[in-house]
Amino acid sequence: MFRLIFLFVVLGLGLFAGTQFSGQQGYVLISVASKTIEMSVTTLVIFVIAALAGLFGLEYLVKKAFYASSATWNYFSVRKMRRSRRYTNEGIIKLLEGDFKVAEKKVTRWANHHDMPLLCYLVASEAAQGMGNTEQRDRYLELAAKQDNSTLAVELTRAKQLIREADYSAAFDTLSSLKSSYPNNAVVLNLLKQVYIELRLWQPLLDLLPKLIKHKIILKEEQEPLTQRAQCGLLHEVAVQKGSEGLVAHWNSLPRKVKADTHLIECFARQLISRQADSEAFTLLKETLKKHPNSDLYALLPKLKLADSHPAVTFLEGVLHKDGNNADAHSALAQFYLRSEKWPEAQVHFEKALSVRSNVADYGYLSDALEKQNLTKAAHEVSKKALTLINEPAA
């Protein structure tokens, strides 16, 4: 537009000058080497205007030619990109359907023309994983890693694949490096939770729990069983590494709220028993049962290997004096009598326990007590009752 206006202005000025100097056209002489060109001023002006118009026209044609070639190039590029997208979408569907070979073929065929090759290589890596081709899987991950801003997506894909292969140590290394760069990424935290559990890294799991709750990766009702599992695992770890003394020291260092959890008290008592610290375990169980009666804790009492079982028997008798229908206390006391070969006393307490609630183990113990008293028929009837309970379908 500017050039057109410029031409009209020049032409207008020429016409104006022509009218002003009509009959006085002047004279122009151009001499180049041995050649000379003669013309009037009016002719020169017309020639200059024509030359400018020709140049502007040539520029227009050149631009049109370049635009046409660029449009043609863009047409083919866009066509290839659309085809690549279509193949990638089809490949993702095939991956979800489990047709890994076709999925790999589709997403890699036009990956170079896709506007996001990272997606193609990650899908191809998953397809190779599905076919069990770890070498090809890793090659696709390397290609994906060469793309811009690919670190998080590539390493998360790698970690998930390692977890599916149960290679938790390698997954731990990958996720640990990611955690330093992406400390609040929900996927990283969730995968770390899985790896910590599988590798029995209980203290790191306990340290991770606040973040898991904050980012709503686990619900609050999931926190307690997960905490109990981690704390129990940590008690076992300390017991193996430091023995009963180290175990007691670790327990004493725990917060009061943690030590009040009867599930953890049971775990602690079991570890004490496994370390032959039965006297300490009895003291712990007795003091806890006085405040919080618990069937699992009563069941641990007969497992104690005490030099003198009289304190345990006295404690249970005292419990039954206050509550004669405490089936768990009856069962525990009966097992102590069974160990001491007091068959009639054991029979009485097992029968009392079973009158309150059914228990397969107690039926078995009662059968033994009856056999020891040569009450074969009664023992047989009790054994049949135990088998009936075992064969009953779960509710």
The count of other CB atoms within 10 Å of the CB of residue 276 is 12
What integer pLDDT is reported at residue 116 of this predicted model? 83
Decide if pLDDT at 393 tops 90: no
Q: What CATH number is attached to the domain comprising 335?
A: 1.25.40.10
DSSP per position, 321-390: HH-TT-HHHHHHHHHHHHHTT-HHHHHHHHHHHHHHS--HHHHHHHHHHHHHTT-HHHHHHHHHHHHHHH
Residue 175 lies in a domain: no
What integer pLDDT is reported at residue 395 of this predicted model? 46
pLDDT digits (tens, 9 = 90+) for 73-126: 444 455 666 777 888 888 889 888 989 999 898 888 867 777 788 888 899 999
Scan for tokens 């016409």, then name that residue: 15
Q: 272 and 327: one domain?
A: no
Q: 224 and 303: one domain?
A: yes
When the pLDDT of each residue in the chain is averaged and rounded to a whole number, the result is: 85
At a CB cut-off of 8 Å and minimum separation 6, what does 251 contact? 235, 259, 268
- Domain end position, chosen among 307, 337, 363: 307
Number of domains in the chain: 2
Decide if pLDDT at 40 tops 90: no
Beta bridge pairs of residue 35: 32
The CA-based angle 192-198-202, given to 5 degrees, is 75
Q: Which two tokens stand for residue 195?
A: 């790896």
Decide if pLDDT at 174 tops 80: yes
Q: 224 and 280: one domain?
A: yes
Q: 284 and 338: one domain?
A: no
Decide if pLDDT at 25 tops 60: no
Encode burial over 306-339: b for 16+ CB neighbours within 10 A, e otherwise: eeebeebbebbeebbeeeeebbbbbbbbbbbbbe
Helix, strand or coil, per DSSP, at residue 30: strand
Residue 363 lies in a domain: yes
The band of 61, judged by pLDDT with boundaries at 50, 70 and 90, is confident
Scan for tokens 């031409």, then name that residue: 7
Residue 294 lies in a domain: yes
Q: Which two tokens stand for residue 92?
A: 């993702």
Residue 153 lies in a domain: no
Q: 299 and 328: one domain?
A: no
Residue 124 lies in a domain: no
Q: 335 and 283: one domain?
A: no
pLDDT digits (tens, 9 = 90+) for 145-172: 999 889 999 999 999 999 999 999 999 9
Rg of the chain in Å (alpha carbons) = 45
Q: What are phi and psi of 37, to 5 degrees?
A: -125, 130
What integer pLDDT is reported at residue 75 of this predicted model? 46
- Range of 240's domain? 219-307
